[in-house]
Amino acid sequence: MNRPRSVWAAVTICVILAATGITRVFVPTSLSVPASTSSSVPASSRPAHTSPTTTGAGQAKPHRPERYKPGQTVVSLTFDDAYENQWLYSVPLLRSHHMTATYYVITINENEARQCCMSYDQLDALQAEGNDIGGHTITHPNLTTSTRAQARHDVCGGRQDLITNGITDPGSFAYPFGAYDAAAEGVVRQCGYTTARVGGGVSRSNTIPGPPYAETIPPGNPYALTTIAPNGSQPIQLPVMKAFVSAAAANGGGWLVITFHDVCHAKAADFTHCMSEYGSVVDTVFGRFLDWLQSAGQPGGAPSGVLVRNVCQVMNCH
Ligand SMILES: [Zn+2]
């Protein structure tokens, strides 16, 4: 698949940074702090988005805050950079399992209709089905080394691009490279996002689960959601994904936000290249993971009580 190298190089670094699993020093904030007091990109005033109610373990009804039981484990499947292979190979699997996910979009790829990535029409369709379409800036800069003006342009502009192209009230954001600091958080907040994901923080290792095992619900800082990118430098293996979910469930539950990138298909022309990319997952492996999650509490399934929800469902963004 022909990817834009400039963005691609950035993404490669992004994921390496995320792979370190380094827990950054988060600045505690209160959930009661207004999302924005001087936003240049206010939340959309369009009617609230509605999505069809589906059955199964994966889908909650929209606009109805869901209560999670103490000790419950909620898994969020998050996809970075909106690659077309996510649309081709993981979206059908999610649909067949009645599950939704979160997609973080680098809007320059959509604006320029690059082959790497999903179109706005595809993203709009995903949101209409109940998926969470979030921002990942226009050009994927490291916000911790950008000037405030540059950061605002890239973060607010990326959110505005999504709104202009049919995405209703984007609430989720992922920091490019997972790079987070208080200044970046301030920009993301002012641009109208409800929540933002950093790189790492769930465990020191991305192959072996360890404390704290999961994010809390609600998160310690909604603008610094921790995550895990299983395996990291090699294609994601099913036992590793299962291990992280099981470890979270066995250690008090909470919110396990999993980061995915490329989704590879064995018969695709670029399979070998896809598999060489950071944090890739084979579609059949991903499908078996969804089977396991869907069978929570049943023999051979995930631990009892495990749910799959997208980020904005857990955060009640809308
Ligand atoms: Zn990225």
Q: Token pair for residue 120?
A: 């706005």
Question: Residue 20 domain-assigned?
Answer: no
What is the 110 CA–ligand 1 centroid distance (Å)? 14
Q: Are residues 60 and 93 in contact, defined by beta-carbon separation less than 8 angstroms? A: no
Q: Are residues 139 and 154 in contact, defined by beta-carbon separation less than 8 angstroms? A: yes
Burial class (CB in 10 A: 0-12, 13-18, 19+), 73: buried
What is the 81 CA–ligand 1 centroid distance (Å)? 5
* CATH number of the domain that residue 166 is part of: 3.20.20.370
Question: Residue 137 domain-assigned?
Answer: yes
Structural domains of the chain, count:
1
What is the 15 CA–ligand 1 centroid distance (Å)? 7
Question: Residue 27 domain-assigned?
Answer: no
Q: Is the predicted pLDDT of residue 13 greater than 70, yes or no?
A: no
pLDDT per position as a tens digit, 222-256: 999 999 999 878 999 999 999 999 999 999 999 99
What is the structure's pLDDT at 233?
Answer: 82
What is the 10 CA–ligand 1 centroid distance (Å)? 8
What is the 140 CA–ligand 1 centroid distance (Å)? 7
What is the 82 CA–ligand 1 centroid distance (Å)? 9
What is the structure's pLDDT at 83?
Answer: 97
pLDDT per position as a tens digit, 73-83: 999 999 999 99
Q: Where residue 64 falls among pLDDT bands split at 50, 70, 90?
A: low
Reported pTM: 0.83
What is the 16 CA–ligand 1 centroid distance (Å)? 10
Question: Residue 248 domain-assigned?
Answer: yes
Residue ranges making up the domain that contains 231: 61-315
pLDDT per position as a tens digit, 275-317: 999 899 999 999 999 999 999 999 999 999 999 999 999 999 9
What is the 80 CA–ligand 1 centroid distance (Å)? 5
Amino acid at residue number 197? R
What is the 147 CA–ligand 1 centroid distance (Å)? 19
Q: Is the predicted pLDDT of residue 139 greater than 80, yes or no?
A: yes
Could you give the CA distance from residue 318 to residue 313 in angstroms, rounded to a whole number?
8
What is the 38 CA–ligand 1 centroid distance (Å)? 27
What is the 244 CA–ligand 1 centroid distance (Å)? 22
Sign of CA dihedral 201, 13, 169, 89: negative
Mean pLDDT computed over 175-197: 98
Question: Residue 202 domain-assigned?
Answer: yes
What is the 125 CA–ligand 1 centroid distance (Å)? 21
Question: Residue 41 domain-assigned?
Answer: no
* Element containing residue 8 per DSSP (H, E): helix 5-19
| Side-chain half-sphere CA neighbours of 262 within 13 A | 27
What is the structure's pLDDT at 74?
Answer: 98
Question: Residue 47 domain-assigned?
Answer: no
